[in-house]
Structure 1
């Protein structure tokens, strides 16, 4: 499932906003952003490898351009990996990436909308990765049940949801009112709630992910949060990521900002301003993402 968020609530992955997005155009940016989060995902993969040993089939549900799917292929060299997404251009990037990394012989793609497209799998999955995709499906409980049904007995569902909003600026950036990121987070929460409310067939759920996994007939087997810590002065790639994130935020919720916060955001995004995210030495990137695992026992 191809996704696109206008802010950093779910940093490191792409997010679906049900708009007409040119995924072929967005592909390079989405791939670069996911690559930036590779250290976080490498720790995640190492943890998963201790929970599901030697899987035969791995499915990345909502794979986008395939960065995580290829990491799964690298982590589990004996497995076949299938990247699943609704966007053919992003799956084309995933296939090309698998070719560059030498895993194309055991890498496949499947195009369609989740969760129904998983019925087209040839056989059940031993590891099903659902990375920041579930919250874009209206009925999350029903989707988890559908995911669980596509697991082999003994297979693991790895659900990436929650964590903390990314941070990249000090509380006081030297101009404007201190605490800009906290106010952006508050607006993002409102946007996220509205996005959920507008999804087809949306159902309100308490976001107790282990309980929802158990309700899907699985046995919860672990929870862990993984960090991406790129301290100041950070890398050019991290600067590009922050600039892209703040640009989407300005474009998506800028009309809801107070005038002084809008002016601060504009200055932070001005490449000619030495106090912008393109130049300031105190820019960093700190993100926390949580993964829940559960096993099909029968």
Structure 2
């Protein structure tokens, strides 16, 4: 069953792409999991809000097993297919002392704090920007944190790049135009969310406004150089198709035809047969402690 959330994105349809992204990001995000867990006590309770396919909580589980601490990881997602996949993946990574629970729910639920355990670490990646009032969403997330606990966000960073400038088909600079169209789509998505409110300042200030202290931001570099693996090539094909789908009519007819040629596995210009694809960008992490 495919589910469209309040942002009108069919996240279940993107499960394969989310799995691939989790695999490609794991090397860069494992140190992030270790750094965040270093800020919380032993045997912690973790809450992954909008867990997707579970990639980050797999890394949390592995770190808890390596530390020998154990603990609890609670997974929250509004899409049943993603929640089931996350629970499967995280349970596979968790040791016997790490309990994994799944909660079907949404950050916008006003009674969410009654449905999930209070957490020593609340993680929300790429979630808050899908809520109309982002600052109110951060206040809601802060209410899920135990006193002295940590709220951490994965938001922003440097947009991933994966294509050469000149692909030998269509006009050079396709990726730049795809990303520009995606940015226009994102602005329209934000404006169309129920109760959309501008937040004209950055995530560190937003965390402080939500009552967090000791706020810091840092980055995680995603760097997979060319020629890239089979997984990377498959991911790039999916990503280019997704960017074009998001762009819609913001791309001109020539660029749409170019994308169609690039993602056609039976065509001569199929991206999946190239040896010059890569993945380069950065994830931004912002976190703070609840007094």
| Contact 1:59–1:129, Cα closer than 8 Å, also in 2 | yes
Q: Hey, what's the Cα distance between the residues in 1 that align with 2:214 and 2:108? A: 20
Aligned counterpart, 1:109? 102
Structure 2 unaligned segments of length 5 or more: list them. Answer: none
CA RMSD of superposed structures (Å): 2.3
1:100 matched to 2:105: no
Q: 2:158 aligns with which of 136, 154, 164?
A: 164
Shift of the alpha carbon at 1:207?
Answer: 3.9
Report the 3-state secondary structure (helix = DSSP H, G, I; strand = E; otherwise coil) of the residue aligned with 2:273.
Answer: coil
Q: 1:31 aligns with which of 19, 25, 45?
A: 19
Q: 2:38 aligns with which of 50, 56, 62?
A: 50
Q: 2:51 aligns with which of 50, 53, 63?
A: 63
Q: 2:261 aligns with which of 248, 258, 267?
A: 267
Q: 2:118 aligns with which of 113, 124, 139?
A: 124
* TM-score of the two chains, using structure 1 as the length reference: 0.87
1:82 matched to 2:70: no
- Structure 1 residues 153 and 236: CA distance shift in structure 2, 3 A: same
Aligned counterpart, 2:173? 179
* TM-score of the two chains, using structure 2 as the length reference: 0.89
Aligned counterpart, 1:247? 241
Shift of the alpha carbon at 1:3?
Answer: 9.4
* Correspondence 1:126-205 to 2 at 5 A: 126-205=120-199
- Structure 1 residues 181 and 39: CA distance shift in structure 2, 3 A: same
| Contact 1:250–1:265, Cα closer than 8 Å, also in 2 | yes
Q: What CA deviation, in whole Å up to 9, does each residue of 1:184-219 have, x standing for no partner?
A: 111111100000011111101114111110001111
| Contact 1:210–1:220, Cα closer than 8 Å, also in 2 | no
| Count of aligned pairs | 284
| Contact 1:196–1:202, Cα closer than 8 Å, also in 2 | yes
Q: Hey, what's the Cα distance between the residues in 1 that align with 2:198 and 2:84? A: 34
